[in-house]
Amino acid sequence: MKGQPEPPWDERDRGVLRLSSGRLVRGWGLRRPLGPGGPVPSYGVYLLGRQPPAVPWESRWLRWPDFRLPADRDEARSVLAQAWERAASERVEVACGGGRGRTGTALACLAVLDGVPADEAVAYVRAHYDPRAVETPWQKRYVRDFAPPPRPVRG
C-alpha cells in the first residue's frame, strides 16, 4: 500500500548492503539472473551507458558508461540522494551490468550520504558488499570527492 513502509530487504541475501544508519540497499549486476521468488525492488536506479529495459517498478536511468563516471554529475547526486531517502522506507536497488564498478561506486556514494567519511566509503562497501567493488582509480576519486550536501544550520 502506498505510503506504508515496505518490508525491508533481507540483509542475508546476496547483494544487500546495510548502511551505517540501518538502511538496506541491494546492489546488483543486471547480467546475473535474480532467480525465482523473493521480493522485488520498489525503486531501482540503473547505471548504464544506454537505456535499460523497462521494469515493473519505479526506476531511474542514470547514464553511466562502463568503467567510467556518470555523464551528468549533478543528476547523479540528485538521483543518489533520492535513492538514499527512499531506502529509509522502500526496497531500493542500484544496479549496473556486472554489479561491481558503477554499482559499488554508487553504493559508496550512498554510504557517504549516510555519514561514512568519503575517504572510508570505498573500504566500507568493499567490506560489506563486494571486495572488488569500485573498480577504477577515477571511480575511487569520485567517491572521495562526493561530499554530502551541507546540513541546514538551526539557530
Q: Judge whether 7 lies within some domain.
A: no
Question: How far is CA 109 from its chain centroid?
Answer: 7
Q: Judge whether 97 lies within some domain.
A: yes
Question: What is the domain-level CATH number for residue 67?
Answer: 3.90.190.10
Expressed as residue numbers, the domain containing 133 is: 16-31+40-144
**DSSP line for the chain:** -TTSPPPPP-TTSTTEEE-TTS-EEEEEETTS---SSS---SEEEEEESSPPPP-SSEEEEEE--TTS--S-HHHHHHHHHHHHHHTTTS-EEEEESSSSHHHHHHHHHHHHHTT--GGGHHHHHHHHT-TT-S-SHHHHHHHHT-PPPPPPPP-
Total structural domains within the chain: 1
Q: Judge whether 153 lies within some domain.
A: no
| pLDDT for res 3 | 54
| pLDDT for res 53 | 86
Q: Judge whether 117 lies within some domain.
A: yes
Q: Judge whether 76 lies within some domain.
A: yes
**Better pLDDT: 137 or 153:** 137
Tens digit of each residue's pLDDT (9 = 90 or more) over 120-137? 999 999 999 999 999 999
Q: Judge whether 10 lies within some domain.
A: no
Q: How many CA atoms lie within 13 A of 112 on its CB side?
A: 24
| pLDDT for res 1 | 43
Q: Judge whether 79 lies within some domain.
A: yes
Q: Judge whether 4 lies within some domain.
A: no
Cα–Cα nearest to 95, from 66, 123, 132: 66
Cell of 119: 575517504
Tens digit of each residue's pLDDT (9 = 90 or more) over 41-89? 999 999 999 999 889 999 999 999 998 999 999 999 999 999 999 999 9
